[in-house]
């Protein structure tokens, strides 16, 4: 708890939590944009693997994931800043802990999905349907990222300041 209190009193924690220059709002906006980029790319891939837009080449996702990496970077930085401002209360907040769990599980799901897609890439590039395994992985991965977003949104209504 001492470390979390130190974070809250750090320059970043103070700027985000009590800045007259709207530190919280700027940081939260960056977090939302980063999340939109990351989750948007992941959900587009999952939709493609579930059979939507089969004529869309999987090669486009190589470029989109480059953009998603930047989104993840901005999301991680802004999330760390938001955590620094209120980590003491966030560590007691169930939706926050669920959000972190869903992000980790969603990352594992994305890794497993990506590996499976690489094995079947030639077939999928021809517009054929993905295997049942890939469809299940895509569905679970997409649902995990949606759950992470919803959990993150619920934090605002359940956190104490």
- Each residue's pLDDT tens digit, 132-158: 999 999 999 999 999 999 999 999 999
> What confidence tier does 26 reach under pLDDT thresholds 50, 70, 90?
very high
Q: How far is CA 119 from CA 70, 93, 115, 122, in A?
A: 26, 40, 7, 8
Examine the pLDDT at 4 and tell me if it is beyond 90.
no
Residues 98-126 have a mean pLDDT of 91
Concatenating the DSSP letter of every residue in 31-57 gives HHHHHHHHHHHHHHHHHHHTTTTTTS-
Examine the pLDDT at 126 and tell me if it is beyond 90.
no
Short-list 89, 106, 130, CA closest to 1: 89
What pLDDT is recorded for position 111?
Answer: 96
Average pLDDT, the chain: 92
Cβ pair 138, 49 in contact under 8 A? yes
> What confidence tier does 57 reach under pLDDT thresholds 50, 70, 90?
confident
Predicted model pTM: 0.90
More confident residue, 121 or 32: 32
Tell me how long the chain is: 161
Sign of CA dihedral 130, 68, 40, 104: positive
Examine the pLDDT at 39 and tell me if it is beyond 90.
yes
What pLDDT is recorded for position 102?
Answer: 98
Domain residue ranges in the chain:
13-158
More confident residue, 22 or 99: 99
CA dihedral 42, 43, 45, 51 (to 10 degrees): 160
């Amino acid at each position: 708890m001492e470390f979390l209190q130190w974070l809250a009193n750090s320059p970043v924690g103070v700027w985000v939590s009590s800045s007259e220059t709207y530190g919280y709002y700027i940081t939260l906006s960056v977090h939302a944009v980063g999340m939109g980029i990351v989750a948007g790319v992941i959900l587009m891939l999952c939709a493609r693997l579930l059979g939507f837009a089969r004529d869309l080449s999987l090669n486009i996702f190589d470029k989109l994931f480059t953009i998603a990496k930047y989104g993840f970077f901005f999301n991680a930085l802004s999330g760390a800043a938001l955590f620094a401002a209120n980590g003491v209360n966030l560590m007691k907040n169930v939706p926050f802990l669920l959000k972190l769990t869903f992000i980790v599980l969603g990352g594992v799901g994305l890794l497993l999905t990506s590996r499976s897609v690489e094995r079947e890439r030639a077939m999928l590039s021809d517009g054929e349907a993905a295997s049942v395994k890939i469809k299940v992985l895509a569905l679970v991965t997409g649902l995990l990222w949606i759950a992470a977003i919803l959990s993150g949104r619920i934090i605002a209504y359940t956190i104490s300041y």
